[in-house]
A and B are shown apart, each in its own frame.
Chain A
Amino acid sequence: MNYMSKKMQEIGVIGDSDIVLAFRTLGMQVASCDSPQRANMAVHRLVSQGIGIIFITEDIARMIPETIDRYNSNPDVALIPIPGSKGTDGFAMQSLKSNVERAVGANILLNTEET
């Protein structure tokens, strides 16, 4: 649409060391961390580098809800939860459901789809 606003940027990944290794092969900017403080710092560092898409493993996303909320309404920064090395724990689906609930007022559609 607006050609000038499009600029190339990298993709960020925050997760444990296994995930980070796998995503580094794709050439993403990675940050491995194990504590909420370091996760917060990693998010801010990636955002300040101008990275707009950051994938975060669910277990880490769970630790930093305030940071995730802060970027929720910012169209330039997308923090996307992905399943970690132990598989999904339903955090991402939960937040999707709460979005639907917030918008539609009831969570009829996703439930019928799953069953």
Chain B
Amino acid sequence: MSELRVNPTRMELTRTKRRLVTAKRGHKLLKDKRDELIRRFVHIARENARVRKEVEESLQNALRRFALARSVMDGPTLESALMYPARSARVSMGRRNILSVQVPEIHVDEESLSETKQTYGYADTPYELDEAISTMADILPQLIKLAEIEKTCSLLAEEIEKTRRRVNALEHVMIPQFEETIRIISMKLDEAERSSIVRLMKVKEIIAER
């Protein structure tokens, strides 16, 4: 590991030692952060996989019902029945802080969940359509949960990657570099001290001879 290019002076030595202490403390903190992030991430990732599977299944089911409804009524009638949506899906997005990672927190607006009147007459639509729509409405909360957890998951993954890079940079580059620099500076300082002692002894000898 290469050392830093600094002058071998006492001042540089103290400065490098101070930097080493800071780097070590930062390393420890980041390592703790990484471990905690991973611990939480594992939970969230498991949850994510579970929720996703659920959503995929129920969405599949809902879409099948739609296909069924489509098969018993003709296209234009279906189009016109669904021309104007009976409800509006609204959510509010907040922020949550997981170890200083900003993750979204999504709430569904109450009104979006409540039962609403249909905007089409019952006369020319089959009951399959009503059923299809109500199954769709049922999976809305699940979908929102999936959105929240999946976003959280990917944000956390990114943060973990960043933190790990920093930990590794400190552990394998910065800290060894500082240690090496300290070693070299103190070696050079010792050497300078020895040579000055020798010089003094020599001078003393010369003076004593006279």
Contacts and interface: CB of A to CB of B under 8 A. Distances in A.
A23 B148 CA distance: 18
A25 B82 CA distance: 6
A6 B94 contact: yes
A21 interface: yes
Interface in B145-192: 146-148, 150-151, 153-158, 160-161
B86 interface: yes
B121 interface: no
B55 to A, nearest CB: 7
A75 B150 CA distance: 11
A9 B133 contact: no
A73 B46 contact: no
Interface string A41-77: 0000000000011010000000000000000110110
Nearest to A21: B82
B93 A110 contact: no
Interface string A72-88: 11011010101101011
B24 to A, nearest CB: 24
A11 interface: yes
A33 interface: no
Contacts of B85: 24-28
B13 interface: no
A114 to B, nearest CB: 8
A61 B112 CA distance: 26
Nearest to A24: B85
B156 A26 contact: no
B190 to A, nearest CB: 43
Interface stretch (B25-33, B102-110, B200-208): B102-110
Given A53-B147, A96-B150, A109-B45, A9 B66 contact: no
A92 B163 CA distance: 25
Give the one of A24, A78, A104 with max B CB within 10 A.
A78
11 contacts: A1-B95, A1-B96, A5-B94, A9-B90, A9-B93, A10-B88, A21-B66, A21-B78, A21-B79, A27-B112, A103-B156
Interface of B: 37-38, 41-42, 45-46, 48-49, 52, 55-56, 59-60, 62-63, 66-67, 70, 78-79, 82, 85-97, 102-107, 109, 112, 132-133, 136-137, 140, 143-144, 146-148, 150-151, 153-158, 160-161
Interface of A: 1-2, 5-11, 18-19, 21-28, 52-53, 55, 72-73, 75-76, 78, 80, 82-83, 85, 87-88, 92-93, 95-96, 99-100, 102-104, 109-110, 113
